[in-house]
Structure 1
Amino acid sequence: MPTLFRFLTVLAMIAAVVYGSLLALSVLVVPREREVTVRIPSEKLNPPKTDTQ
């Protein structure tokens, strides 16, 4: 039983570190705002018409 308890404790500590680092990243890091331009091929906007009957 002590081995299982130690294993679960280590897993809980690893989960706490991961959760804490994700929380710190979401609170402390501010993303830079910038303009984004994405080119869309005309084939996607105006697909060729198929002759279906």
Structure 2
Amino acid sequence: MPTLVRFLIICLIITGAVYGTMLALVTFVDPAERDVTIRIPPERLDPERLAPK
């Protein structure tokens, strides 16, 4: 039984560290917004229209 308790305590400590890290990231990190432009070649938009017949 002591081995099971030790295992559960270690799992709780690891889980607490993960949640603490996530909370710190949410609290202290402010992502910057920016515009993203992706150019798509016309062949990918309508390949049937541009295909040779």
TM-score of the superposed pair, with normalisation by structure 2 = 0.77
Paired-residue identity, % = 53
Which protein has greater RCO, CA pairs closer than 8 Å, 6+ apart? 2
Unpaired stretches in structure 2, ≥5 consecutive residues: none
Runs of 4+ in 1 over 3 A off after TM superposition: none
More helix by share: 2
> What's the Cα RMSD here?
1.6
Q: Give the paired residue count.
A: 50
Unpaired stretches in structure 1, ≥5 consecutive residues: none
TM-score of the superposed pair, with normalisation by structure 1 = 0.77
